[in-house]
Structure 1
Amino acid sequence: MSLKTRTLHGFFWSLTQQFGVQITMILVTVFLARILEPADFGLIGMLAVFMALGNSLIDAGMTSSLIRTKDADQRDYSTVFFINLAVGLLVYLAMFLSAGLISQFFNQPALESIIKVYCLTFLIYPFSAVQRTRLVKKMDFKTEMKVTIPSTIVGGIFGLVLAIQGFGVWALVGMNLAQNLLLSIQFWIYSKWRPSWVVDWERFKYHFGFGAKLTIAGVINSVFSNIYHLVIGKFFPVTQLGYYAKADSLKQIPVKNISNTLSKVTFPMFSEIQDDNEKLKIAYKRIMQQVLFWLTPVMVFSIVLAEPLFRIVLTEKWLPAVPYFQILCFIGLMFPIHSYNLNILKVKGRSDLYLKLEIIKKSLTVLGIVVALPFGIFALLWTQVILNLVAFGINSFYSGRFIGYNVWRQIRDIFPIFLVGAIAGFACWLVKDLIQNVPFLDWIKLIAGGLMGVCIYFLISWGAKTEPFVDFRTIILKR
């Protein structure tokens, strides 16, 4: 099977998995949000930075090294497997012993016991990390779909049962543990690979040599991607963190479905053509345009229709989260561009440059938080938007040099998509604003505004023959 065919198959199954998981999680989240209080989600939001940090340390960038290593064998996989287990145990012990200090930092005594149970995922995840990596390397996303969707459904049902029984925040803890445990068990069942009792220190040095810089970058990125949870949890009421956490998680639904699906497929695909810069440039351009072509209208319409959407889905008690969600949607639009630019650096083996760029960007983040914090939570959010624009310039400048695709050419290729999205968003807003005093007002605004926006977006794209529209029609539909 050719690389192109495997990529298309991988995209299809990965997208099916993402949509299956996210549809399930949307339904579960809607019911949980109606049962639980914003403060419950705020307590879990306080753990976001620690969970992300722990996962980065466990992986240590070595699974990425396995994917880009063309001749990885049993000794490579077994070595990474046992190292991951050892690091997972150390990370859990560190969190267990630090639980009291963390709860004191946030002034939330209930957080101590939550940490000790919630972080058991650090012991579960390493058991299936290599099995999952092997599937990604082979682009076998069909099997991954078979594993992920049932685990999400069963774990979600378990969480809902706990919430209905009045367990509060522990419903979220139980759901997370159940989903991760089922994932790990099923990856062992479906995967034909089993570790050998061997740790090859030469192979460890090789993979860690590549992964160490990615690990440091990943740790930095994990901390700073979730630093707003930390800052809001420390300096604002826990309910406000609950609003922010919910808005951020809802923003991630389209981003994860569309962007992460392709990111998972593109890294192994980029790795196979890492020595051909022209192919890398063409593949990168097409993928970035295709992702933004589908993500842009979703995020734009979400901004415009946020209020009726929240009122219908989450009820009135979550309306204070609407402006958070609208601002965060701007950040969601930038995520895929960051992801693919950084993938270029990884497949080129420039983990050193990857690390340097992360340090520069996160230094700017600290400065932005210090400046914005005295002006309140909305200043923090808009600072996030500005910093993401700056990060795009930094990432695309360096990755563009490797494949001959500079910042301005990237902007030129994606600007038409944003322009069409803005026009469609304006049409959506006009329709929504004109509808007043009718039965089922929120539903009518959501449906009529969304339909008008979608029609305008695709009509303009068809009439202007934009590149991603033509690519989709000639490549994807013909397949």
Structure 2
Amino acid sequence: METLKEKTAKGLIWGLMNNGSTQILNLIFGIFLGRLLTPSDYGMVGVLTIFTAIAGNLQSSGFTQALTNMKHPESRDYNAVFWFNVIVSISIYTILFFCAPLISLFFHQPALTELSRFVFLSFVISSFGIAHGAYMFKNLMVKENTVTGFAALVTSGIVGVVLAINGQSYWSLAWQQIIYITIINIGRYFYTPWHPTLHIDLRPIKKMLNFSMKILLTSIINTLNSNILVFIFGRLYPIKAVGSFTQANKWNTMAYSFLSGTMAQVAQPVMAQVTGDNERERRVFRKMMRLTAMLSFPAMFGLAMVAEEFILLTIHEQWLSSVPLLRILCIGGAFMPLYTLYQNLMISRGRSDIYLWCTVVQIVIQIAIVVAFAKFDMQAMVWAYTAGNIVFIGIWQYFLNKLTGIRTTEIMRDICPFMISAAAVMAAVWPLTAPISNLWLLLICRFILAAVLYLAIMRLAHAEILNEAIEFVKNRKKR
């Protein structure tokens, strides 16, 4: 039998492969689509994100986390979640179908009526695979998720590029979403031994409802928090400007979700297994925190440093206006994987109430900040939003201390050395490489020099988490 450490390591390895392949494919197809489409095309689909995301929250209703926290969920539990999701998603789609003209009126874009009705089909399709996804998540089937995600990204990406080449503009992005979720569902059905029955019994939902409803409300609020800027920008600015922000936010999200997505695939299942053993829980959480900080800060600060040459080399001058926005977002993005760990610990402890209220307070503060800075330009609003997200980690840390006894000073010792080292490396590399005029050479030199300097600092500082990671890889090769 594998130990928890081995299961966690295996999950992280497959998670890294999953998210690594995901981001590489997203990068490749994102470059093609960025060159073929305009900021306005991205803006059209971008303003609909908040509606599809909230609809997705409503249909899943936090049952994935509820099933994961159950010791031994039965077939009838999964079946109840399956039918609940299907019924709710069809109901939501019906409402949004008739609200589509109001959405287009709000954003001053008549074409959004037809486009939104098509895009909203994505969450109806996804509802048929949520219970299967919960089964795979519960059982740490990260390898199977990797294969499924790879197939979905390749297929949907090719469809999107072909449609864009044939002049389908924003419809290529819409079809890409639909194809992606369809392939994901096919993969889930193929790998999952459990399948739904036609017997509809929603009674098991009742025992999950108290926990899952808090997760649902929290997910909706998180979605509002993540998309509030796009929503406000869509109302205040031309659709082209919204597209520039959407492009910057896309690259930022792709970068930090590589790590936060990897951690999310193992954090809650692992933390749920050590709940009750306080000392072991503290040790596991802090080790995850150090690993996350070691990877997140150099990756995100590095992307901020090379943002201009990256945008110019990949999607060209038409997206140059997204560069300053990308730099700002990357600074906040470095902290987002840390949020993932805090949130998953709360969920594994069954404290969805803390998860809910922390998120409620956060979105209220963020909306207040955005409204207060609405009289300024887009960059000022993004700066304020980013600063608010960083500062609010302190609130999550307060509750972490109450639950586990992990002090703020301990967390600071875990993350600050990596944050300071990454910032110092980028500050040193920037002027050293500034005289290089060739963009490709500049990008390569900055990447290599920053990576070498950062690793050298970690080795000289005898970073324990780096040594453990290297030792684990060596042991696997010996096997």
- What is the TM-score with the length of structure 1 in the denominator? 0.97
C-alpha distance in 2, partners of 1:274/1:96?
44
Residues 339-363 of structure 1 show CA distances to partners (whole Å, capped at 9, x for unaligned) of: 1111111111111122111111111
Counterpart residue type for residue 237 of structure 1: P
The aligned counterpart of 2:452 is 455
SS at match of 2:374: helix
> How far 1:200 moved relative to its partner?
4.2
> How far 1:90 moved relative to its partner?
1.2
The aligned counterpart of 1:49 is 50
Counterpart residue type for residue 151 of structure 1: A
Counterpart residue type for residue 81 of structure 1: F
Decide whether aligned partners of structure 1 residues 209 and 200 sit closer, same or farther in structure 2, where only a CA change above 3 A counts: farther
Residues 157-199 of structure 1 show CA distances to partners (whole Å, capped at 9, x for unaligned) of: 0111100111111010111111111111222122221113344
Q: 2:289 touches 2:414 (CA, 8 Å); kept in 1?
A: no
Aligned pairs (5 A) from 1:250-261: 250-261=251-262
C-alpha distance in 2, partners of 1:338/1:295?
12
Counterpart residue type for residue 462 of structure 1: R
> How far 1:55 moved relative to its partner?
0.9
Q: 1:75 touches 1:198 (CA, 8 Å); kept in 2?
A: no
Q: 2:228 touches 2:367 (CA, 8 Å); kept in 1?
A: no
C-alpha distance in 2, partners of 1:423/1:368?
29
C-alpha distance in 2, partners of 1:402/1:292?
22
Structure 1 unaligned regions, length at least 5: none
Aligned pairs (5 A) from 1:315-326: 315-326=316-327
The aligned counterpart of 1:108 is 109
Aligned pairs (5 A) from 1:290-301: 290-301=291-302
Counterpart residue type for residue 54 of structure 1: A
Residues 94-152 of structure 1 show CA distances to partners (whole Å, capped at 9, x for unaligned) of: 21111100000000001111100011012111111111111111111111112110111
The aligned counterpart of 2:185 is 184
Residues 257-291 of structure 1 show CA distances to partners (whole Å, capped at 9, x for unaligned) of: 11211111111111111111221111111111112
Aligned pairs (5 A) from 1:59-458: 59-436=60-437, 441-458=438-455
Are 2:461 and 1:464 equivalent residues in the alignment?
yes
C-alpha distance in 2, partners of 1:408/1:114?
50
Q: 1:124 touches 1:181 (CA, 8 Å); kept in 2?
A: yes
> How far 1:422 moved relative to its partner?
1.3
Q: 1:17 touches 1:144 (CA, 8 Å); kept in 2?
A: yes
> How far 1:474 moved relative to its partner?
3.1
SS at match of 1:107: coil
- What is the TM-score with the length of structure 2 in the denominator? 0.97
Q: 2:125 touches 2:181 (CA, 8 Å); kept in 1?
A: yes
> How far 1:216 moved relative to its partner?
1.0
C-alpha distance in 2, partners of 1:448/1:225?
33
Q: 2:16 touches 2:259 (CA, 8 Å); kept in 1?
A: yes
SS at match of 1:478: helix
Counterpart residue type for residue 400 of structure 2: S
C-alpha distance in 2, partners of 1:321/1:287?
32
C-alpha distance in 1, partners of 2:103/2:198?
37
Residues 331-389 of structure 1 show CA distances to partners (whole Å, capped at 9, x for unaligned) of: 11110111111111111111112211111111111210111110111111111122112
C-alpha distance in 2, partners of 1:58/1:399?
29
C-alpha distance in 1, partners of 2:123/2:198?
22
Counterpart residue type for residue 448 of structure 2: L
Percent identical residues: 27
Counterpart residue type for residue 416 of structure 1: P
> How far 1:477 moved relative to its partner?
3.9
The aligned counterpart of 2:18 is 17
SS at match of 1:245: helix
SS at match of 2:128: helix
C-alpha distance in 1, partners of 2:423/2:386?
17
C-alpha distance in 2, partners of 1:60/1:349?
15
Q: 1:428 touches 1:450 (CA, 8 Å); kept in 2?
A: no
Residues 60-99 of structure 1 show CA distances to partners (whole Å, capped at 9, x for unaligned) of: 1111100110111111111111101111111211211111
Structure 2 unaligned regions, length at least 5: none
C-alpha distance in 2, partners of 1:52/1:400?
31
Counterpart residue type for residue 133 of structure 2: R
Counterpart residue type for residue 453 of structure 2: I
Q: 1:137 touches 1:268 (CA, 8 Å); kept in 2?
A: yes
Decide whether aligned partners of structure 1 residues 476 and 401 sit closer, same or farther in structure 2, where only a CA change above 3 A counts: farther
> Structure 1 stretch 191-200 or stretch 386-395: which is displaced more?
191-200
Q: 1:432 touches 1:446 (CA, 8 Å); kept in 2?
A: no
> Structure 1 stretch 91-100 or stretch 196-205: which is displaced more?
196-205
SS at match of 2:197: coil
Decide whether aligned partners of structure 1 residues 198 and 2 sit closer, same or farther in structure 2, where only a CA change above 3 A counts: farther
SS at match of 1:192: coil
Q: CA RMSD in A?
A: 1.3
C-alpha distance in 1, partners of 2:317/2:405?
50
C-alpha distance in 2, partners of 1:201/1:174?
33
